[in-house]
Chains A and B, each alone.
Chain A
């Protein structure tokens, strides 16, 4: 698969001849081979012009922007190139029909819960005292299939997640990184900052994969389509957040690669310093490149690829071919 570029330096991104060129404000010059780019994530102050946007669009390269504090700002989503009116109608049909929508939403919630369980079990095997959390998630997960409306489902989802978060302190075992409670926009402690940053990376990566399928990212099922631009990526990201983002956080903390000194507290809440962000991003990219065997395709696929396959499974559900059964980690 083509690569993702993460631009932390400030500079100018432009089209030069038939490829992409990045010149940092420190005078560093780099050609990025257009044939090897699938997406760009811009963290620094990156200036660009319309000529570049046209070229990115033609080359089907998507760009995600993050602001100075590392919060997701937006995406340059080039004009759809895989558009299928048929698929869009199917997506809309599954949104408008309450029972079809609830069915899909439940599948996402269940997939997310299953992967949270995988994470909890993984650390339970490593002698973390979290069996009560596992049991509680298992109990709440059982309520998903009986649930008959969206509000109840959201309540179950919230409960499962809160229970899951209770395991974090036991897994990490570092008081400085205590979870306390989930706080967003802005996150109020180190752990919440890590979760928010990782999740927004996850949303972007899923969105990039949606761009390469026939799906319309604006129609989601679990997350209400209340006129936000993208929601389907949030749904699909639920499946992968525990096994990718949370595992990265635990790994980085377990290796003592992050400390209190990697954060600053300000009016924007607690934010990671640039070096910490780079380290996270590097770990994240490597994680997405790790491969595992995919039985029905009979070959090794990366996590990034696995996200794409998940989207294809969703397409088949929408086409009425095969009910969507979310990916659950095998470890």
Chain B
């Protein structure tokens, strides 16, 4: 750990993680083994009714992919975090989280007993008094979701690789919820979820 590193945590495959990141501080997410989707929600730490909005973020930059320079906007169209570095080049804003319920639609009812991101968000959010009403469409770091000309959209093989990372700067005190995606039925985790690393850096 460098002097500037406040906290470094390895989040195991399928696990949840959360932290408050102070204004000006950075959060680096490292895809340790490559091709691992990191489902991500962010809230104003002081007022969690102000939270990440996929549509406001898409509006703001006129693009559905996130990369360096992208500003994560709240539902009140105010900046929550900014992507200040990105080794990968594009991340998903559209696909949302996997859930036990959506898995039954996408793959079949046999998937009901499997782990899913929404359960991670609910369990981790509950520690802060957040419930189901507080879950909205989230970011999927490292997940590759192209949209074809006719609108066909889907999760395809990732373009990340072991050790690649991205760094976010908090534009205000924010609460970050992460589900290190447990999905095993699509290529978002290469059909085998792996660990990721979260590093919080001190404010500059």
Same assembly:
no
